[in-house]
């Protein structure tokens, strides 16, 4: 501790005298405070180093998971669309198309805890309590049939859980197993007979079309389209009959476009928008809650729509402030927008897609 105080003093002197302060050769930087290290040093190692005190059971985890994770990972951790599957795949690693999940592939449980606590949910990282993280991890184990539903995971029993693929890894051995790649390259008659084409990419047809290039060209052309969004709104004006559309504030629309980045992981809007993890948002203003046929809304959202609730400035603002408060059990895992100006902006932005 005394050393530490000296260092602080040292830094202060250095700041005035512009000379090296302590241990290091250059005397740059300053000592990290214990609170600072504690705030950032969250990683958990396979031997349990870094695990916080806490616990959570699989049943609680199921609920927390449903609220925070299921929108992308599915109610049973089976994965939605292209989002990662967290359960299943046991015994498939040697198959042609292995299914790599926490249960079938991940060698250490610490990795799951570490990642969920540090980086999940997607778009609202570091918002869950440690106990909730324990509960979610317990649920993921349960959904992989590694523990039963009464299981309580805690820092005490964490190392007792044996991951099925714990022994499935070897350290990089390329320099041994691929020793034959260090060789004298052949220059003549390296293959016998005529070389034949065995597979063609054009047959598969998965290469993106060239539409992107045209758009970029338009963007690079000088003064091409400064405010495309507003133009679009203008086109819609005669049909829409809404004074609000004509009165769109282009600055606010622009700001809203930025805020919408937070929504883009799940929602599409604009030309060709489709339902993804969340419903598409074209003409959402004026739409009944849960109003898109075929999209799987929460029961609450559906019921509110059936009662006649419609998305407008007020309802949307209330929802976006605290989604789970306005529509209880909504499937939208987003935590909400804290700033009123962000809500106003994103609303304005959505209004610009009012066909």
Partner 1 sequence: MTVRFKGKAPSRRAFLKGTLASTAGMVAGAGAASAATPDPLITQKQEWAMGLGDGVDATPYGLPIQYEGDVIRRNVEWLTADTISSINFSPIHALDGTITPQGCAFERHHSGAIDLKKEDYRLMINGMVDQELVFSYEDLERFPRVNKTFFLECAANTGMEWAGAQLNGAQFTHGMIHNMEYTGVSLRTLLEEAGVKPEGKWVYVEGADASSNGRSIPIEKALDDCIIAFKANGEALRKEHGYPARLVVPGWEGNMWVKWIRRIEITDQAIESREETSKYTDTLEDGTSRKWTWVMDAKSVVTSPSPQSPIKHGHGPLVITGLAWSGRGAITRVDVSKDGGRTWETARLANPGQPMALTRFYLDTQWAGEEMLLQSRAVDETGYVQPTKAMLRETRGENSIYHNNCIQTWWVKADGEAENVEVS
What token pair was written down for 223?
A: 């003064």
- Distances in whole angstroms, Cα of residue 17 to Cα of each of 7, 25, 27, 30, 227: 15, 16, 12, 15, 53
Q: Is 208 in the site for partner 1 (CB under 8 A)?
A: yes
Q: Is the link from the previous residue into 121 a cis peptide, with omega within 30 of 0?
A: yes
What distance in Å separates the CA atoms of residue 116 and residue 189, rounded to the nearest whole number? 55
Cα 291 from Cα 312, distance rounded (Å): 13
* Binder among 6, 129, 157, 177 for partner 1 (CB under 8 A): 177
Helix H or strand E segment including 56: strand 55-57
Taking CB under 8 A as the criterion, the residue among 53, 222, 243, 338 binding partner 1 is 222
Task: Write down the least CB distance from residue 228 to partner 1, Å.
Answer: 17
Residues 250-279 contacting partner 1, CB under 8 A: 261, 264-266, 276-277
Q: Residue 188 interacts with partner 1 (CB under 8 A)? A: yes
Smallest distance, Å, CB 74 to partner 1?
12
196 is an interface residue for partner 1 by CB under 8 A? yes
59/106 Cα distance (integer angstroms): 22
Q: Which stretch binds partner 1 (CB under 8 A): 51-59, 105-113, 231-239, 333-341?
A: 105-113
DSSP for 229-269 reads HHHHHHHHHHHH--HHHHT--HHHHHHHHHHGGGTTTT---
- 14: part of which helix (H) or strand (E)? helix 2-17
Does the protein bind partner 1 through residue 125 (CB under 8 A)? yes
Tell me if 199 contacts partner 1 by CB under 8 A: yes
Q: Which of residues 36-65 bind partner 1 (CB under 8 A)?
A: 36-37, 40-41, 43-47, 49
Query: Residue 192 or 307: which CB sits closer to partner 1?
Result: 192
Q: Does 31 bind partner 1 (CB under 8 A)?
A: yes
Compute the chain's Rg from CA coordinates. 28
Q: Does 19 bind partner 1 (CB under 8 A)?
A: no
Least Å from the CB of residue 284 to partner 1:
19
**Does residue number 162 form part of the binding site for partner 1 (CB under 8 A)?**
no
| Residue 66 tokens, joined | 């449903």
Q: In this structure, what are the phi and psi dihedrals at residue 56, rounded to the nearest 5 degrees?
A: -165, 145
Does position 1 bind partner 1 by CB under 8 A? no
How many Å apart are CA 326 and CA 272, to the nearest integer?
Answer: 29
63, 168, 339, 340: which one contacts partner 1 (CB under 8 A)?
168
- Bridge-based pairing of strands 55-57 and 152-154 is antiparallel
Question: Which residues from 126-145 bind partner 1, rule CB under 8 A?
Answer: 126
Residue 294 binds to partner 1 (criterion: CB under 8 A):
no
174 binds partner 1 (CB under 8 A): yes
**Is 191 one of the binding residues for partner 1 (CB under 8 A)?**
yes
């Amino acid at each position: 501790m005394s050393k530490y105080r000296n260092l602080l003093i040292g830094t202060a002197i250095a700041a005035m005298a512009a000379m090296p302060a302590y241990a290091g050769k250059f005397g740059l930087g300053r000592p990290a405070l214990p609170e600072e290290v504690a705030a950032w040093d969250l990683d958990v190692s396979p031997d349990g180093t870094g695990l916080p005190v806490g616990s959570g059971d699989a049943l609680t985890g199921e609920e927390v998971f449903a609220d925070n994770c299921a929108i992308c990972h599915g109610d049973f951790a089976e994965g939605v669309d292209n989002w990662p599957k967290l359960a299943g795949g046991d015994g498939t690693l040697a198959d042609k198309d292995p299914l790599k999940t926490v249960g079938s592939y991940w060698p250490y449980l610490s990795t799951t805890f570490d990642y969920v606590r540090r980086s999940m949910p997607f778009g609202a990282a570091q918002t869950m309590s440690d106990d909730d993280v324990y509960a979610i991890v317990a649920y993921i184990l349960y959904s992989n049939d590694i523990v039963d539903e009464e299981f309580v995971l805690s820092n005490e029993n964490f190392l007792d859980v044996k991951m099925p693929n714990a022994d499935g890894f070897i350290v990089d051995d390329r320099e041994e197993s691929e020793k034959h790649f260090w060789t004298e390259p052949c220059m003549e008659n390296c293959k016998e007979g005529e070389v034949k084409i065995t597979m063609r990419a054009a047959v598969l047809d998965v290469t993106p079309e060239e539409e992107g290039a045209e758009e970029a060209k338009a963007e690079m052309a000088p003064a091409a389209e400064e405010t495309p969004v507003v133009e679009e709104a203008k086109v819609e004006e005669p049909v829409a009959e809404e004074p609000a559309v004509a009165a769109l504030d282009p600055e606010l629309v622009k700001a809203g476009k930025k805020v919408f980045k937070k929504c883009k992981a799940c929602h599409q809007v604009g030309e060709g928008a489709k339902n993804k993890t969340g419903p598409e948002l074209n003409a959402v203003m004026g739409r009944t809650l849960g109003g898109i046929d075929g999209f799987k809304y929460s029961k609450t959202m559906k019921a509110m729509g059936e009662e006649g609730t419609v998305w407008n400035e007020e309802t949307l603002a209330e929802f976006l402030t605290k989604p789970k408060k306005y529509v209880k059990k909504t499937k939208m895992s987003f935590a909400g927008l804290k700033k009123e100006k962000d809500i106003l902006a994103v609303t304005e932005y959505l209004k610009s897609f009012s066909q």
